[in-house]
Structure 1
Amino acid sequence: MVKPPLNSGMMELDALFDEIRACRICVDQPIRAPLPHAPRPVIRGAATARILIAGQAPGTRVHASGKPFTDPSGDRLRDWMGVDEATFYDETRIAIVPMGFCFPGLDAKGGDLPPRRECAPAWRDAVMAALPAVELILAVGLSAMQWHLGSRAKSGMTATVADWRAILADTAAPSILPLPHPSWRNSGWIKRNPWFEADLLPVLQRRVAEHLRSAD
């Protein structure tokens, strides 16, 4: 039997990402109204990544930059994880795969719309299969929690994040840690739930450090 080249998994993932970056399903075959602008899918990762950040969808700044979390929410997420920018953007160690790959547009109040409904059913299973080394999934926001936890997710974001100890204990290969979105709009939520910074964040930082060390 001929063994595949050592980088074959990365080659397969690169090919998949090329397909995703060319995707126009939300314009050509939308579930509801089409995306109101040209698609610009944003996704990062390598087959060797041990940590997966499952976010929501790009915002306006990320749509412009083409690079995930290049905004204040990214600064906060990196602080939560206890990593610097270079580590955060090291695709060989951390993959960033949002639930919706493109900026979904703004609602009537100027906030971001939910992730497009076309992305995850079309692509997510294939992406997860192409990331075999992932040991820890950070499910950021309710959409990511519902997809990756399924019936294990509670009825709302707060209840699901509050159940983080049981979720972390009950999920394996990979384990899952639910997080609120690091948007500064959630600053009030963080103040109302002091256990998040006092109890969850130290565990998050410890687990991230452990998985990063295992990738070295």
Structure 2
Amino acid sequence: MQDLLHNIRNCSLCKAHLPLGPRPVVTAHQDSKIVIIGQAPGTKVHASGIPWDDASGKQLRKWLGVTVEEFYDEKNFAIIPMGFCYPGRGKGGDLPPRPECAPQWHDQLMEFMPNVELVLLIGMYAQKYYLKKQAKKTLTETVADCQDYLPKYFPLPHPSPRNRFWLTRNPWFDKEVVPILNQEIKKVLKSTRSSK
């Protein structure tokens, strides 16, 4: 596992396409119980090298109902984005995650984590990649039907402040989906604590 993480952190596969250069951000442990698959690091995370070290991460931790310490405990959460490096800016925000990363590294990482109980799929890119034909036509429909993908997957919208309009238009997410998410996270973390 350590060799694989070292290789990922030194990856320069799509170097030519990265405006700030490669700085792959990933955390994982052979005992990880939950995998968070997001999009790609933003500029703040690129600068710090700490995944979800921004406003999106703060909101995500609130949805999950976990402390900063619990979130960054690699035995609890592995953090594996669809694109490991900051992809650059487009007209409407950051560019999509680079397409090279997930096919190159995700399966290898998953093989080293036999105890994973839940995979959080944050955003459309992660949902389409992992759910394939099971994903609904829109992210909204996929998230609304989150229980259809349990016990393995849990689809979520992106917690970015830029997504506040989606959250305002879909109040059912906070009322109905977040409590289910909390319950699933507590269930998995409870089994982690009892095995320590």
TM-score range, shorter chain: over 0.9
Post-superposition offset of 1:213:
1.0
| Partner Cα separation in structure 2 for residue 120 and residue 153 of structure 1 | 18
**Offset of residue 129 of structure 1:** 1.1
Q: Deviations over 1:70-107 (max 9, x none)?
A: 10000000000000100000011111000000000111
Aligned residue in 2 for 1:181:
158
Q: Percent identity?
A: 48
TM-score (norm. length: structure 2): 0.95
Identify the residue that residue 144 of structure 2 maps to in structure 1.
162
User: 1:59 Cα deviation (Å)?
Assistant: 0.3
Distance (whole Å) between structure 1 residues aligned to residue 143 and residue 99 of structure 2: 23
Matched length? 193
Residues 107-146 of structure 1 aligned to structure 2 (within 5 Å): 107-109=90-92, 111-146=93-128
Partner SS, residue 139 of structure 1: strand
Give the aligned partner of residue 8 of structure 2: 20
Which of residues 49, 53, 59 is equivalent to 2:42?
59
Deviations 1:27-53 (A, max 9, x none): 26xxxxx22232000000101011111
Q: Any gaps of 5 or more consecutive residues in structure 2?
A: none
SS in 2 for 1:212: helix
Aligned to 1:79, the other structure's residue is in SS state helix
Whole-Å separation in 2 of the counterparts to 1:108 and 1:149 = 28
Equivalent of 2:55, from 72, 81, 85?
72
Q: Which amino acid aligns with 2:142?
A: T
The residue aligned with 1:31 is none
The structure whose Rg is larger is 1
Alpha-carbon RMSD across the aligned residues, in angstroms, is 1.1
1:169-215, CA deviations, whole angstroms, 9 ceiling, x for partnerless residues? xxx4xx10100000011111111111111111001011101101111
3-state SS in 2 of match to 1:25: coil
Determine helix, strand or coil for the equivalent of 1:95. strand
- The structural deviation recorded for 1:14 is 1.2
Give the counterpart of 2:170 among 193, 199, 203: 193
SS at match of 2:35: strand
- Cα deviations by residue, 1:105-153 (Å, 9 ceiling, x for unpaired): 11134x1110001101111111111111110011000111111111111
SS of 1:198's partner is helix
Structure 2 Cα separation of the partners of residues 55 and 108 of structure 1: 20
Secondary structure of the equivalent of 1:154? coil
Q: Show CA shifts across 1:47-74 (max 9, x none).
A: 1011111111000000000010110000
Write the distance in 1 (CA, Å) between the matches of 2:84 and 2:167: 26
Q: What is the CA–CA distance in structure 2 between the aligned matches of 1:112 and 1:91, rounded to whole Å?
A: 27
The residue number in structure 2 matching 1:7 is none
Instruction: Name the SS for the 1:188 alignment partner.
Output: helix
2:132 counterpart residue number: 150
Structure 1 segments of 4 or more deviating over 3 A? none
Indicate the SS of the match to 1:177. Answer: strand
Quick one: distance in 2 between partners of 1:203 and 1:178? 12
Letter in 2 for 1:199: E
Residue number in structure 2 paired with 1:105? 88
182, 188, 192: which one pairs with 1:215?
Answer: 192
**Counterpart contact for 2:144–2:177, Cα < 8 Å:** no
Q: How far off is 1:155 after superposition?
A: 2.1
